[in-house]
Amino acid sequence: MKAVKRNFLVVEESIRLNEINNFQISRYFNPSDFNLEDKLNLHFDYSEGIGAKYIRILAVYIDTSKSLEPYEGIEYTEEFKLPFPVGGITKKNELSVSLKLKEDSKLLWKIGIQIRHEINTLIHLTIS
């Protein structure tokens, strides 16, 4: 069996979205890496690349109350579409989204970030 390399969310990161990664990335979330109460705030405060329509954020939650029975869903998703500013993202018009860390027995464990329309883009992300 081969070990899987997972990229975890960090406090500050520059994310390059291009043809190589199909204009999307995913980051796993480890709550012990952060000092958070009940929400994870993603702030996009800088970008290079103009012409994208929106940034798609996909929050993936895993239901800890369910066992791995056949055909039983244990993942739940929540989708956000943040409209991309015409001139790109700057400190004045930063984009942000708040994700719940926990809802009932569902825990946040993965975040997907995707750009649409496919334009080579560099986005700066900070976490609070």
| Boundaries of domain holding 37 | 23-127
Helices (H) and strands (E) in the chain, counts: 0, 9
Q: Evaluate whether residue 14 is within a structural domain.
A: no
State pLDDT tens for residues 28-47.
998 888 888 899 999 999 99
Domain count, the chain: 1
Span between the terminal Cα atoms of the chain, in Å:
36
State pLDDT tens for residues 74-124.
889 999 999 988 888 888 889 999 999 998 888 999 999 999 888 899 999
Among 23, 2, 30, 7, residue whose Cα is nearest residue 119: 23
Where b means 16+ CB within 10 Å and e means fewer, 17-34 reads beeeeebebebebeeeee
Q: What is the pLDDT of residue 61?
A: 93
Q: What is the mean pLDDT of residues 36-59?
A: 90
Where residue 112 sits, what CATH number does that domain have? 2.60.40
Angle, alpha carbons 7-116-57 (nearest 5°)? 45
**3-state secondary structure (DSSP) of residue 38:** coil
Q: Evaluate whether residue 110 is within a structural domain.
A: yes
Q: What is the pLDDT of residue 71?
A: 62
Nearest-angstrom CA–CA distance, 56 and 84: 10
pLDDT band at residue 55 under the 50/70/90 scheme: very high
